[in-house]
Each structure stands twice: as C-alpha cells, then as structure tokens.
Amino acid sequence: MTITLEALDLKKVFERRTIFRNISFLMSEGQSLVVTGRNGSGKSTLLKILAHVLTPTEGSVKIFSGLHNLSHSSHLHIGFVAPYLTLYEEFSGKENLQFALAVRGLAQDAALIDRLLDRFSLGGFKHAPARVFSSGMKQRLKFAFALVHRPPVLLLDEPMANLDTDGINQVRELMTEHRKDGVLVVATNDISDAVIPDFVVDLNVSR
C-alpha cells in the first residue's frame, strides 16, 4: 500500500500571533519536502504538527496507507529527529531503542538495534548511558531512535545540528535512502542540508 502524508489548510496561532496559515500539500512514498524560513517562522511548529504531537489551530494532518487512515496510530508510522528532542539519559543507547520498541508494543529486534547503532557509529557505546554522550553522539542516537520502528514517514528538524562531517554524510545517505521508499520532510535554514526536494514550503511567505 502506498503511504501518503496529507496536510490540509494548516494554520497555527500562538497567543494571537499567526505563525503560518494556508499550508496544504499531499506527499506520497518517494517524495520529499523541505520546510524553510527564517528563525521563528514556525518550521519546528509545522514539523510537530505533522508528527501529531501539536494540534493545529485550523486544518488537519493525515497519514494514509492506500485509503486507510493511519493517523490514530501515527506513533507507529512517524520517525522524528530534532535538536530539542531528549532521549532517556539514564538508559544506554541500546536500552533507548529497546524502550522505543517496547512502548510501541513492537517485538524486540536485537539485530536491527545493533545495525542502527553501528550505522550511526555508536556500536562501541551501546551500553554507555546516554548522559555521557556528546551532543553529536546524542544527535546520532536520535536518528537510530527515529528509525527503530521502521517508519514510512521521516520528519527531520535541523538534521545536521551538532554533527561532524561523518555524521553529516551518514544523514545525507539516510535521506537519499529514505526518499526512495518513504516520505521525507526536512526543516532547515540551509536548503543545501537537504536532498533535492520535490516540494518546498517557504514559511517566510505563509503568514
């Protein structure tokens, strides 16, 4: 079944200030979108709304598999990475990923967890508590955390934050890969961070 992400007439108002309005798009598997705009333009707000963790003032966001609406189980179909996302610091990298599967009610997959930790160069630190990680390592762990339940929709807010050259290359590779068989949304100030997108939402013109 083809996965689609539909945003319809999104509007967000915070304390009488309209952050954005009239944002609509329909994306299918194999497509990517870049959300851009100056600081405070609402990029993170829009991504949180797409992730179903923030309610829009007006409009709706839906995820479909064919004609079947998956929005009620968005936590199973969305992967989200952002600098302001905090993982469980007392847990190790491996435990964070195991916890992410357990809370979602999914079966543990030790091979996948090891593969993801290795992919983001955290294989040697999988038993170390996340609180001892550097900010770059924490950002890498967030990518593993976002992918552990194999989500078809991947939402990345400033994905290159805190990453070194190797990390940036790993994320570029991930974006290219995910774009082939999933839905990819990237919010960034620097459009060169993202793969060449199919759509661009410029929040500087959406107020």
Distance from C-alpha of 24 to C-alpha of 17, rounded to nearest angstrom: 20
Q: Does 46 bind other proteins (CB under 8 A)?
A: no
Tell me the CA end-to-end span of the chain in Å, nearest whole number. Answer: 35
Identified binder of other proteins from the candidate list 11, 75, 119, 172, rule CB under 8 A: 75
Angle, CA 175 vertex, CA 192 and CA 137 arms, to 5°: 90
* AA identity, residue 12: K
Footprint (CB under 8 A) of other proteins, residues 128-187? none
Q: Does 51 bind other proteins (CB under 8 A)?
A: yes
User: How many chain residues bind other proteins (CB under 8 A)?
Assistant: 21
Residue 63 Cβ vs other proteins, minimum distance, rounded to whole Å: 14
Question: Given the rule CB under 8 A, which of 22-30, 76-84, 162-170, 179-187 is the region that contacts other proteins?
Answer: 76-84
- Residue in this structure with the two tokens 């924490």, named with its chain if needed: 138
CB-nearer residue toward other proteins: 5 or 197: 5
- Residue in this structure with the two tokens 């949304």, named with its chain if needed: 185
CB neighbour list of residue 115: distance below 8 Å, 6 or more residues apart: none
Q: Does 86 bind other proteins (CB under 8 A)?
A: yes
